């Protein structure tokens, strides 16, 4: 249960910190105007900080796609997949709820896209379904490759959270204009549920594409590193 609690808290912080920076500091009237760069850094910092804080308890996945990718890469037992994913999704939903309570405290509150992920009309740059699919698969594949490489026992010890946090920052810098960046089904679910409508209708992509990408990245690292399952 300690592991599941750590995954809940880590995913909660990721969604609250990452999506919160977008909703509260980037897009709302009177916001600080941190822009894409600030939001990208915020997402990276959430993973970096919680990986140091609770990564030694649960492994610091905070993402169903990461858990599935690590399982595909031989680093994680199948028996713990469903409990980890449940804890991550619940953490994301709880963070989305807290963020909703905060932003709805404004007199001129309008939920808008609430940092949801989307394609087509709901892509920040109006990118197509195909572009969104390719982006999410490729970004998540490299995220898993970096995670597995940084946590390899042959890698320098103690630096994995920094590499992983910076990787997530870079991923957001690349892909926020395309999909608002998911690479994490729990992050997408945690805010889409509160928007409803189109956000829930498009949510399937932000489960399917990250999972496919995670498996590709994990298997790719195994091949490159010569790692045995």
Query: 65: exposed, middle or buried (C-beta count within 10 Å: 0-12, 13-18, 19+)?
Result: buried
Give the largest Cα separation in the chain, rounded.
57
Q: Is 70 exceeded by the pLDDT of residue 32?
A: no
> Which residue in 51, 59, 192, 202 sits closest to 132, CA to CA?
202
Domains of the chain: 2-225 (1.20.1080.10)
| Integer CA distances (angstroms), 205 to 16, 40, 77, 80, 113, in order | 22, 21, 25, 24, 16
Dig out the tokens for 201 from the structure.
């209708």
Query: Residues near 157 by Cβ (< 8 Å), separated by ≥ 6?
Result: none
Q: How much is the mean pLDDT over the chain?
A: 94
Give per-residue pLDDT as tens, 67-118: 999 999 999 999 999 999 999 999 999 999 999 999 999 888 889 899 999 9
Predicted confidence band of residue 132 (pLDDT cuts 50, 70, 90): very high
Round to whole Å and give the CA distance between 94 and 104. 15
Helix runs in the chain, H state only: 2-22, 35-58, 64-72, 81-103, 129-150, 160-179, 185-195, 198-201, 205-225
Q: How many CB atoms lie within 10 A of CB 86?
A: 15
- Per-residue pLDDT at 109: 86
Round to whole Å and give the CA distance between 14 and 48. 10
Round to whole Å and give the CA distance between 164 and 183. 13
């Amino acid at each position: 249960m300690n592991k599941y609690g750590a995954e809940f808290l880590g995913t909660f912080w990721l969604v609250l910190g990452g999506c919160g920076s977008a909703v509260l500091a980037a897009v709302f009237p009177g916001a600080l105007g941190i822009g894409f760069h600030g939001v990208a850094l915020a997402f990276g910092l959430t993973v970096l900080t919680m990986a140091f804080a609770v990564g030694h308890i649960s492994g610091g996945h905070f993402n169903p796609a990461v858990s599935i990718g690590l399982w595909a890469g031989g680093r994680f037992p199948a028996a713990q997949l469903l409990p980890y994913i449940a804890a991550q999704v619940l953490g994301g939903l709880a963070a989305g709820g807290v963020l909703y309570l905060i932003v709805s405290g404004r007199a001129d509150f309008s939920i808008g896209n609430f940092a949801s992920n989307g394609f087509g009309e709901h892509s920040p740059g109006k990118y197509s379904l195909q572009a969104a699919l390719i982006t999410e698969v490729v970004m998540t594949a490299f995220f898993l490759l970096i995670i597995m490489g940084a946590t390899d026992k042959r890698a320098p010890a103690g630096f994995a959270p920094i590499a992983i946090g910076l990787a997530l920052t870079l991923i957001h810098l690349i892909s926020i204009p395309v999909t608002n960046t998911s690479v994490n089904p729990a992050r997408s679910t945690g805010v889409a549920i509160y928007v409803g409508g189109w956000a829930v209708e498009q949510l399937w992509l932000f489960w399917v594409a990250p999972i496919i990408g995670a498996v590709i990245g994990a298997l790719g690292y195994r091949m490159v590193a010569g790692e045995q399952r």
